[in-house]
């Protein structure tokens, strides 16, 4: 996805989750002088196996729309974000 589309994802999601899938559907081209609007709708989605333990275990799904100022669609996209794995070796007291 272009940087305009990913900029619409809130920083809090990008910090706590990693991109796991992306689908893009381009509708038409635009020129460099065109003004664009980047819209996003955010929802949670269950893991494929349905085994979510807590709130943070949910996948996040973002539906993106990039359009011209007058509402003409340029691109639709969908991204899914999974929680980042946190490796904290300090709590394991590993001596190297």
> Which domains, ranges and CATH numbers included, belong to the chain?
3-49+58-84 (3.10.129.10)
Name the token pair of 64: 């993106």
| Cα(19)–Cα(17) distance, integer angstroms | 7
pTM over 0.75: no
- Residue 79's Cβ-count burial label (10 Å; 0-12, 13-18, 19+) is buried
DSSP state of 32: T
For every one of its 96 residues, what pLDDT tens digit does the chain have, with 9 covering 90 and above? 544 556 678 999 989 999 999 999 999 999 999 999 999 999 987 544 444 444 445 789 999 999 999 999 999 999 999 999 876 555 555 555
């Amino acid at each position: 996805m272009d940087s305009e589309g990913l900029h619409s994802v809130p920083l809090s999601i990008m910090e706590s989750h990693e991109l796991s899938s992306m689908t893009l559907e381009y509708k038409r081209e635009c020129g460099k002088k065109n003004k664009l609007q980047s819209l996003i709708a955010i929802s949670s989605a269950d893991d494929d196996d349905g085994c979510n333990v807590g709130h943070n275990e949910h996948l996040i799904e973002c539906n993106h729309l990039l359009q011209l100022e007058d509402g003409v669609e340029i691109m639709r996209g969908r991204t899914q974000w999974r929680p980042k794995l946190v490796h904290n070796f300090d709590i394991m007291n590993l001596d190297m």
